[in-house]
Amino acid sequence: NAGVTQTPKFQVLKTGQSMTLQCAQDMNHEYMSWYRQDPGMGLRLIHYSVGAGITDQGEVPNGYNVSRSTTEDFPLRLLSAAPSQTSVYFCASSPGSPSGYTFGSGTRLTVV
Amino acid sequence: TQLLEQSPQFLSIQEGENLTVYCNSSSVFSSLQWYRQEPGEGPVLLVTVVTGGEVKKLKRLTFQFGDARKDSSLHITAAQTGDTGLYLCISDSWGKLQFGAGTQVVVTP
């Protein structure tokens, strides 16, 4: 099994550009979520989904959109990139509470 | 929003020593997960605790869940250099995760 696959691994954007971070899992997990990790701030939840067609906001949702049309995929869209969105982004999936999460290896995004 | 307090923030020990990391909350955890994260990688699940008073062992790692389900600890016996990493406690409330700030553990030879 591939687990949770995130693409791309690295990305540089100019301010104002839009892009989509991809996340796919092959474990048939219902729960999927996106996080950003910044030095001194730890991991923060951006958006999460408890099943196809269902999404909800986390702690820091502004500037990001998500959709969950299939169980396998949970893309994160940056609408208009800003330098404050420079971060490492992680996607994770879980069969559901209280099972733990499988994290992807991350996408390192720099906005200049 | 549940606030998770993790302590200490940083721990540096020598190989063979023991260490304990703590995770506390002002409210009851529905369940608590412990992860280890290495540089450039995503967190990796170590254990999930659900029941108050629960103790789980994973080789040299011992995880305890408080009776009131408001605190948890991770104890490492005879630490090895491979135990170096960022240890995170995470509370999962039906898909909405709350994170502790993490404890950076450095084990030197």
| Interchain pair B44, A33: CB under 8 A | no
Report the pLDDT value the prediction gives residue A44, as an integer from 0 to 100. Answer: 92
Which tens digits make up the pLDDT trace of B10-45?
999 999 999 999 999 888 888 899 999 998 899 999
With a CB cutoff of 8 Å and minimum separation 6, the contacts of B22 are B6, B7, B71, B72, B73
Phi-psi region of A96 (alpha: psi -120 to 50; beta: other; left: phi over 0): left
> Which residue in the set A42, A58, A100 is minimally distant from B48, CB to CB?
A100
Report the pLDDT value the prediction gives residue A28, as an integer from 0 to 100. Answer: 95
The residue among B35, B50, B1 whose CA lies nearest residue A98 is B50
Q: Is B62's pLDDT higher than 80? A: yes
Nearest CA in chain A to B103: A42
Residues 54-83 (B) with a CB less than 8 A from some CB of A: none
Nearest CA in chain A to B31: A98
Which tens digits make up the pLDDT trace of B78-103?
999 999 999 999 998 777 888 888 99
Report the pLDDT value the prediction gives residue A36, as an integer from 0 to 100. Answer: 96
Report the pLDDT value the prediction gives residue B2, as an integer from 0 to 100. Answer: 55
pLDDT band per the 50, 70, 90 thresholds, residue A71 = very high
Report the pLDDT value the prediction gives residue A107, as an integer from 0 to 100. Answer: 97
B85/A contact by beta carbon, under 8 A: no
How near does any CA of chain B get to the CA of A74, in Å?
Answer: 14
Q: Is A89's pLDDT higher than 70? A: yes
Nearest CA in chain B to A50: B95
- The C-alpha atoms of residue A76 and residue A21 are separated, in whole angstroms, by 5
Report the pLDDT value the prediction gives residue A8, as an integer from 0 to 100. Answer: 97
Report the pLDDT value the prediction gives residue A39, as an integer from 0 to 100. Answer: 84
Report the pLDDT value the prediction gives residue B5, as an integer from 0 to 100. Answer: 92
Report the pLDDT value the prediction gives residue B92, as an integer from 0 to 100. Answer: 85
Which residues in chain B touch residue A4, judged by CB atoms under 8 angstroms apart?
A: 42
The H-or-E segment that residue A90 falls in is strand A87-94
Report the pLDDT value the prediction gives residue A40, as an integer from 0 to 100. Answer: 77
Nearest CA in chain B to A35: B97
Q: Is A27's pLDDT higher than 60? A: yes
Quick one: tokens of A55?
A: 């999404």
DSSP tag of B94: T
Report the pLDDT value the prediction gives residue B97, as an integer from 0 to 100. Answer: 84
Report the pLDDT value the prediction gives residue A1, as an integer from 0 to 100. Answer: 61
The residue among A67, A2, A57, A68 whose CA lies nearest residue A35 is A57
| Interchain pair A43, B43: CB under 8 A | yes
Which residues in chain B touch residue A68, judged by CB atoms under 8 angstroms apart?
A: none
